[in-house]
A and B are shown apart, each in its own frame.
Chain A
Amino acid sequence: MDIRFTPEQERYRAEVRAWIEKNLPRPANGNPFRGPDDEDDNARFQKEWERKLYDAGYSGVAWPRAYGGQGLTFVEHYIVQEELGRVAAPEGINSIGRELVGPIMLAIGTEEQKRHYIPRLLRLDDVWCQGFSEPNAGSDLASVQTHAVRDGAHWLITGQKVWTSYARYSNFCILLARTDREALKHKGITLFLMPMDLRGITIKPLKQITGRSEFNEVFLDDVRVADSLRLGAVNDGWRVANGVLGFERATTRLYRQARFANELRALIALLERSGSRRLAEDAGFRRRLAAVHVEIEVLRYHNLKVVSRIANGATIGPEASLQKLAWSEAHQKLADLAVDILGEDFANGEAAEPFRDIYLQSRAETIYAGTSEIQRNIIADRVLGLPR
């Protein structure tokens, strides 16, 4: 395992750290970063922050310069992610653009699409949302019902999408729609780049258990999308989406490891400030604290393995499911510890607000991007070769 960075990479890290220090407003109380409470203000703040990152050269770090990237390696990308995570920097509003659309586009987009869309998403000219899940296509994503029918040089798209984060603030949607109803369910799906201002699109916010409304339902009623906005071949959408999703599951949450470590430090600091004696007096709590720390460390070791594999040109296979399971479950253990150790303060203390948020948010993390149960099925099928 390669665990060391070169002096050049360490210098790069120092630059990134110094830049973040200067440019990210940090909460004075040492708590993890938290954006404005108002949805619109928060969206604006996140967008400005992402734009700032791009201007400083810390977005699209490993993407080709020809498409607005920095043309550096995956190691520099990882360094930026780790430094952002270390201070629990905001994750931004255009993660679907950066983490899903960009990589898919780089893998299978036409030259024209790459030159047009990738710089725009990096500059935040376009904010993307993801139209994959549907009321009857959650874990069983391949059974999407939203359908697209040819109409000359256009497609008419009708159906319903759900759990669409930031749909109200997005101007494009990467959409999975059925284009062949006769074919086997995996084989009749196509990917579209759908502008969100087209006639026939209705967005309804969904309130989550956190109290915020990042999620939306998106209703499509004969939305007319030009064929030039198709990504990849007709009926090839599932294969494309799946291939890229695997890579993304393994790599896009790299920064979360460092963020969780930040949250654990913040929890200790909060207990100190509030004069809690729980850690000092209870060996059981101290062990749980250390056990969470151990899981977060192991997550970092997995990250380093993935980074050195990618830096050495290897492909990502089942590591994707491993990473997804490991980070989402480690975060829930951190959240559970916060509930138990903060005691009454967890429910009623002003200062415990970030941990109420972390706890509630962490319930979603073992569900989205493939539930823990789906990840276990993938491991059982593809790694262990067990029969279904």
Chain B
Amino acid sequence: MLATSVRGLLARVPKSGDGATIGTALAEHGVFGLMAPDAAGGLGLGLTDALAVATEAGRMQTPFPVIETIAAASLLSRVRPDAVAEILSGAAIATCATGGEAQISATAKGRARLRGSLTVAFADSARWLAVPVRRSDRNDPGPWATIVDLTGLGPSISAAPELDLTYPMYRVELDYGVEAADVIEHELQPMLAVLAAAELTGAAEHCLDATVKYLKERVQFGKVIGSNQALRHVVADDWVRVQGMHAASEYAAAAFDAARNTSGSRLPTEAFRHAAHVAKAYCSSAAREVAEHAIQLHGGIGFTWEFGLHVPLRRILRLGSSLGTSADHLDTLAAEMLRRDKSNCGA
């Protein structure tokens, strides 16, 4: 039901609208506070619920950092609970770093230095930036994250080349002091990867639906082209891919929620991180195949700017290349498998 109402809402949001209008409309529906705790004015729901929103944002190619804001709000509620209200109301935008790297090193007592070179969506209009970080001051691998206020600190922000026309990306160079206490253990990166997997699922399903519709309408050789087995089999496989994408992102979200529910405030388990790698690896490549088939099966019209299939394709390419590519996640999984095999020797 959440998915249906969000779908309706996102369909009404003007695609060309400015960030503020879209942000306010989404905020009114409580979308940004989905994962923020009740105490901070959020809905206190799980990643499974956020997933439904992310899928719809992908389906509609919503020109707003929806998943970044949801994830950043959950982090912000732990680091700066007093600042959550302006995100939930839509008065300020919170975004996340989805590419590049950032490091925390210890300086004076209680202080630390955050250095990074990051890729960030909507950095020019956002106030808060959530950043997954590595720590050189601690052995504990975390994962760690922090959130910084972009106002008045003058980090260098420059526009990145524009692939996804619905999603302005920026390069952000950070080098400044933060409170050590503001760097916390948080699953920001895998959480974003799962939300991105859901967006990829929505965008791919949008492409598949458009293709199936077209195959039922387009007539060549005196019959609708959807009766050709060569084409029917391609879309049948794409349907299988989309079902796999749904299953992979839903499972990862459920793993996150399950770990949170059973262990109170404890961090989600390895099982969630593993599932996040699986989901992002699978969805990044499957979505691209579905979008490429959509263009092929639409024929010439699919290659036109006007028809618009490049919009979800570009979104899919952008999402696929951020938060770890398919190959990156496969490399991590392979390393895990080989390590596990060594430790289980003879079992």
Q: How far is the CB of A285 from chain B (nearest CB, A)?
A: 9
Q: Is the CB of B258 within 8 A of A4?
A: yes
Decide if A301 is an interface residue (CB 8 Å cutoff): yes
- The stretch that binds A, out of B33-41, B118-126, B139-147, B246-254, is B246-254
Q: Is the CB of A384 within 8 A of B227?
A: no
Specify which of A30, A286, A304 is in contact with B334 (CB 8 Å cutoff).
A286
Q: Is the CB of B233 within 8 A of A380?
A: yes
Q: Is the CB of B281 within 8 A of A294?
A: yes
Q: Is the CB of B251 within 8 A of A301?
A: yes
Q: Is the CB of B341 within 8 A of A272?
A: yes
Give chain A residues whose Cβ lies under 8 Å from the Cβ of B243.
302, 322
Give chain B residues whose Cβ lies under 8 Å from the Cβ of A384.
212, 232, 235-236, 239
Residue of B nearest to A305 (CB): B247
Q: Is the CB of B216 within 8 A of A289?
A: no
Q: Is the CB of A383 within 8 A of B331?
A: no
Q: How far is the CB of A158 from chain B (nearest CB, A)?
A: 35
Residue of B nearest to A296 (CB): B278
Q: How far is the CB of A229 from chain B (nearest CB, A)?
A: 39
Encoded as 1 (CB less than 8 Å from any A CB) or 0, chain B from 199 to 237 comes to 000000000000010011000000110110100110111
Decide if B327 is an interface residue (CB 8 Å cutoff): yes
Give chain A residues whose Cβ lies under 8 Å from the Cβ of B250.
1, 301, 305
CA A380 to CA B237, docked complex, whole Å: 9
Q: Is the CB of A386 within 8 A of B330?
A: no
CA A295 to CA B278, docked complex, whole Å: 9
Q: Given the interface contacts A322-B240, A377-B232, A384-B236, does A298 sit within 8 Å of B278 by beta carbon? A: yes
Q: How far is the CB of B268 from chain A (nearest CB, A)?
A: 13
Decide if A180 is an interface residue (CB 8 Å cutoff): no
Decide if A313 is an interface residue (CB 8 Å cutoff): no
CA A297 to CA B250, docked complex, whole Å: 13
Residue of B nearest to A280 (CB): B338
Most interface-central of B216, B235, B334 (chain A CB within 10 A): B334
Most interface-central of B48, B224, B338, B346 (chain A CB within 10 A): B338
Give chain A residues whose Cβ lies under 8 Å from the Cβ of B240.
322, 325-326, 379
Q: How far is the CB of A371 from chain B (nearest CB, A)?
A: 11
Q: Is the CB of B338 within 8 A of A301?
A: no
CA A384 to CA B333, docked complex, whole Å: 34
Decide if A385 is an interface residue (CB 8 Å cutoff): yes
Q: Is the CB of B247 within 8 A of A301?
A: yes
Give chain A residues whose Cβ lies under 8 Å from the Cβ of B334.
279, 286-287, 289-290, 293
Q: Is the CB of B341 within 8 A of A269?
A: yes
Q: How far is the CB of A278 from chain B (nearest CB, A)?
A: 12
Q: Is the CB of A287 within 8 A of B331?
A: yes
Encoded as 1 (CB less than 8 Å from any B CB) or 0, chain A from 319 to 344 comes to 00010011000000000000000000
Give chain B residues whose Cβ lies under 8 Å from the Cβ of A30.
346
Q: Is the CB of A387 within 8 A of B227?
A: yes
Q: Is the CB of B216 within 8 A of A386?
A: yes
> Total interface residues on B, using CB and 8 Å?
43
Most interface-central of B247, B327, B345 (chain A CB within 10 A): B247
Interface of B is mostly: helix
Decide if A184 is an interface residue (CB 8 Å cutoff): no
CA A3 to CA B240, docked complex, whole Å: 21
Residue of B nearest to A325 (CB): B240
Encoded as 1 (CB less than 8 Å from any B CB) or 0, chain A from 1 to 36 comes to 111100000000000000000000000001000000
Q: Given the interface contacts A298-B244, A322-B240, A386-B227, does A268 sit within 8 Å of B337 by beta carbon? A: yes
Q: Is the CB of A2 within 8 A of B232?
A: no
Residue of B nearest to A291 (CB): B330
Give chain A residues whose Cβ lies under 8 Å from the Cβ of B255.
3
Decide if B170 is an interface residue (CB 8 Å cutoff): no
Most interface-central of B226, B236, B239, B251 (chain A CB within 10 A): B236
Give chain A residues whose Cβ lies under 8 Å from the Cβ of B227.
386-388
Chain A interface residue number, banded:
35 or more
CA A290 to CA B275, docked complex, whole Å: 13
Decide if A314 is an interface residue (CB 8 Å cutoff): no
Interface of A is mostly: helix
Decide if B32 is an interface residue (CB 8 Å cutoff): no
Decide if B64 is an interface residue (CB 8 Å cutoff): no
Q: Is the CB of B254 within 8 A of A3?
A: yes
Q: How far is the CB of A57 from chain B (nearest CB, A)?
A: 27
Q: Is the CB of B247 within 8 A of A298?
A: yes
Most interface-central of A293, A297, A322, A375 (chain B CB within 10 A): A297
Decide if B282 is an interface residue (CB 8 Å cutoff): yes
Specify which of A297, A375, A386 is in contact with B212 (CB 8 Å cutoff).
A386
Give chain A residues whose Cβ lies under 8 Å from the Cβ of B331.
283, 286-287, 290
Q: Given the interface contacts A297-B278, A302-B247, does A379 sit within 8 Å of B236 by beta carbon? A: yes
Q: How far is the CB of A205 from chain B (nearest CB, A)?
A: 34
Q: Which residues of B (256-312) have their CB < 8 Å from a CB of A? A: 258, 262, 275, 278, 281-282
Residue of A nearest to B247 (CB): A301
Most interface-central of A1, A2, A3, A376 (chain B CB within 10 A): A1
Give chain A residues whose Cβ lies under 8 Å from the Cβ of B275.
297
CA A295 to CA B245, docked complex, whole Å: 11
Decide if A48 is an interface residue (CB 8 Å cutoff): no
Decide if A373 is an interface residue (CB 8 Å cutoff): yes
Give chain B residues whose Cβ lies under 8 Å from the Cβ of A279.
334, 338
Q: Is the CB of A380 within 8 A of B232?
A: yes
Give chain B residues whose Cβ lies under 8 Å from the Cβ of A207.
none
Q: How far is the CB of B244 from chain A (nearest CB, A)?
A: 5
Q: How far is the CB of B62 from chain A (nearest CB, A)?
A: 24
Give chain B residues whose Cβ lies under 8 Å from the Cβ of A269.
341
Which residue numbers of B lie inside 8 Å of A, CB to CB? 48, 212, 215-216, 223-224, 226-227, 229, 232-233, 235-237, 239-240, 243-244, 247-248, 250-251, 254-255, 258, 262, 275, 278, 281-282, 327, 329-331, 333-335, 337-338, 341-342, 345-346
Having A287-B331, A383-B236, one finds 11 other A-B pairs with CB under 8 Å, namely A3-B258, A279-B334, A286-B330, A286-B334, A293-B278, A293-B337, A298-B278, A301-B247, A376-B233, A380-B232, A387-B226
Sample (21) of A-B pairs whose CB atoms are under 8 Å apart: A3-B251, A3-B254, A4-B262, A279-B338, A283-B331, A286-B330, A286-B331, A287-B327, A287-B331, A290-B333, A293-B333, A294-B282, A298-B247, A301-B250, A304-B251, A305-B247, A373-B233, A385-B216, A386-B215, A386-B232, A386-B235
Closest 7 CB pairs of A and B: A376-B236, A380-B232, A286-B334, A301-B247, A290-B330, A379-B236, A290-B333
